[in-house]
Amino acid sequence: MLPTLAPLPPWARSPYWAVAAAAAAAVGGGAWLLRRLRRPSAEQLECARRLRLHAIGRIAGGEILDMLPVADAPTLPPTLIYQYEVGGVTYQVSQALHLVPVALDPASWIPGWPVQVKYDPANPGNSMVACEHWRGLAGPAPGPVSPRGATG
């Protein structure tokens, strides 16, 4: 003999619980999709990192070790590899200068030259040599990149 099932509670006999569950799932799925679509791009995250370092960073002296040109566009600023020392620890890091939207002098990223490095005091490995509002490289003052062909 098979066991008998208990009768359903009154709320489970109504079709409204299924509609409410479907509505809750739709709202949850919509919220997830909206959050996923509003996720910042890699460029936006890098810009936020640079601006945060500009706001809270400390400055240390460093040295440019090497430069790696951008493979697809040799006219763009390179990726700089540089080192600096904080608290007796030497850090060797890199920064892609082609992602920084300011005009930079090509003569300012010569290997062996000194550079000022802005680093995060809580995480000294997080550093930069240039951002939108600050530059630790030698050369003319930073400014916005002018459109191609613009004079001024």
| In the chain, domain spans | 42-128
Note the Cα 52 to chain centre separation in Å.
Answer: 10
What does each of the 152 residues of the chain score in pLDDT, given as a tens digit? Answer: 677 777 777 766 777 777 888 888 888 888 888 877 788 888 899 999 999 999 999 999 999 999 888 888 878 888 899 999 999 999 999 998 888 888 888 778 888 999 999 999 999 999 999 999 999 887 544 455 444 444 44
* pTM over the 0.85 mark: no
